Every structure is written in C-alpha cells, then in structure tokens.
Amino acid sequence: MLYQLVVFLHVVAVLGYLLAHGVSATVSYAIKKERDVNRIRALLDISEKSYPSMFLTLLAVIVFGLIAAFLNMTWWRFGWIWLSIVVLVVIIVLMAVYGAAAFGEIRKAAGIPYRVKGKPFPAEPAKSDEEVYAVAAKVNPTLLLVIGYGGFAVIAWLMIVKPF
C-alpha cells in the first residue's frame, strides 16, 4: 500500500512539473513571434513566476521516484531505472544549456534581471528593440520541446515497459 501511494505521488508530481513547466514552453513559442519588447518582458516575467512550482515539483518527482525505488530494492539490479536517471540528468543539463541560457540572454537584452548558470544578475540597460528581437529569435522552442517532452516520454516508456 505504501509503495502504491509513493508511485501515485511520483506520477502526480510529474504531472505538476509538466503543468508548471508548460508555462515556459508556451512562452518560448510566443516570444519568437512577439514584436513588442514590453510584451516580451511580460512573457519572461510570467515564465519566471512558474519556476518555484517547477523546481518544487521536480524535487518531488526525484524524491518520490527514489523512495519508490528504495521500497522495491530489486529495481536497482535493472538497467531501465539507471537509464531513466541518466535521461533525467541529460534533460536537465540540455534544458539549462539550450533553454535557461537563451532565456537569460533575452532577459539581459530586454533590460530585466537575468541569470547566468543559475546566478542572478541585476538588470542592465536594455538593448535596442531589434537586438532584443534578434536574441529572442535564437530560441529554438521545438528543440526544447523534443528534449523535454521527448525525454519524459522515454522515461515513461522505460518505467512502464521495463525492457532490461
């Protein structure tokens, strides 16, 4: 019974994470087409407001996943659980490189507080509108979607099928 509860909480946490992170995914598509710097700033602010929920639910995914694995100690002998952990780490790293870094550059260009490798920096003078649009155009939301959603689909497949 405890195991089933922990697995349920793990799945609910995944759904919460995807819901919270969906805000940034939507912003990544909208920001490429936006031609009003004030609206770009607003979109970036909305995306950043979802970060606490996103990180909290990601932590819950990891904690409940590990608890479930330790409740069923036999899993550690199988490759699917190790590969699932590796895929999650790869997703996090790639999203930081291609997502967080790109959004940080846009925030910096737009003249609002930004982050570099997770470290916060105060706002700098805004660049010209054209420079902001050029930086925003570098975001590749489809790549981010493939990395994030595709990675989670691989993990879900590994967890359900347990192929090895």
120 phi, psi to nearest 5 deg: -75, 145
To the nearest 10°, the Cα dihedral for 53, 32, 153, 51? -10
Q: What is the dihedral of CA 101, 137, 15, 90, to 10 degrees?
A: -40
Question: Exposure of 27 by Cβ count < 10 A (0-12 exposed, 13-18 middle, 19+ buried)?
Answer: buried
Strand partners, 136: none
Confidence of residue 131 (pLDDT cuts 50, 70, 90): very high
Q: Is 5 helix (H, G, I), strand (E, B) or coil?
A: helix
What are the Cα distances from residue 84, in Å, to 27, 56, 160?
Answer: 27, 20, 11
Tokens representing residue 53 in the block: 């929920």
Q: What is the pLDDT of residue 117?
A: 86
Predicted local confidence at residue 75, as pLDDT: 83
Residue with tokens 């710097």: 37
Averaged pLDDT for residues 22-42: 94
pLDDT value at residue 35: 93
Q: Is 21 helix (H, G, I), strand (E, B) or coil?
A: helix
Locate tokens 């997703």: which residue? 91
pTM: 0.86
Write out pLDDT tens, residues 60-110: 999 999 999 999 888 889 999 999 999 999 999 999 999 999 999 999 999
Is residue 91 within 8 Å of residue 152, measured between CB atoms? yes
Per-residue pLDDT, 72? 87
